[in-house]
Amino acid sequence: MRRIVFPLILGLGGIAILMSLGLWQLRRLEWKETMLAEIAARIDAAPVALADVAAPDRDRDVYLPVTLTGHTTGQEALVLSGQKNVGAGYEVIAVFETNGGRRILLDRGFIREEARATPRPPVDLNVTGNLHWPQDADAYTPPPDPATGLWFARDVAAMSATLGTEPLMVVIRTAEGAAQGIEPRPVDTSGIVNDHLEYAITWFSLAGVWAGMTLYLLWRIRRRTI
Asked if residue 160 is part of any domain, the answer here is: yes
- Assess whether 201 and 127 both reside in one domain: no
Domain that holds residue 153: 64-176
What's the pLDDT at 84?
81
The pTM assigned to this predicted structure is 0.82
Q: What are the pLDDT digits (tens) for 65-88?
A: 999 999 999 999 999 998 887 788
The whole-angstrom separation of Cα 94 and Cα 72 is: 6
- Assess whether 137 and 71 both reside in one domain: yes
Count the domains in the chain.
2
Asked if residue 183 is part of any domain, the answer here is: no
The whole-angstrom separation of Cα 125 and Cα 205 is: 54
- List the CATH number of the domain containing 151: 2.40.50
Question: Residues 6 or more apart from 153 whose CB is under 8 A from it?
Answer: 79, 134, 136, 137, 141
Q: What are the pLDDT digits (tens) for 44-59?
A: 999 999 988 878 888 8
Q: What are the pLDDT digits (tens) for 98-152?
A: 999 999 999 999 999 999 989 999 999 999 999 999 988 888 889 998 888 899 9
Question: Residues 6 or more apart from 103 whose CB is under 8 A from it?
Answer: 73, 95, 96, 97, 164, 165, 166
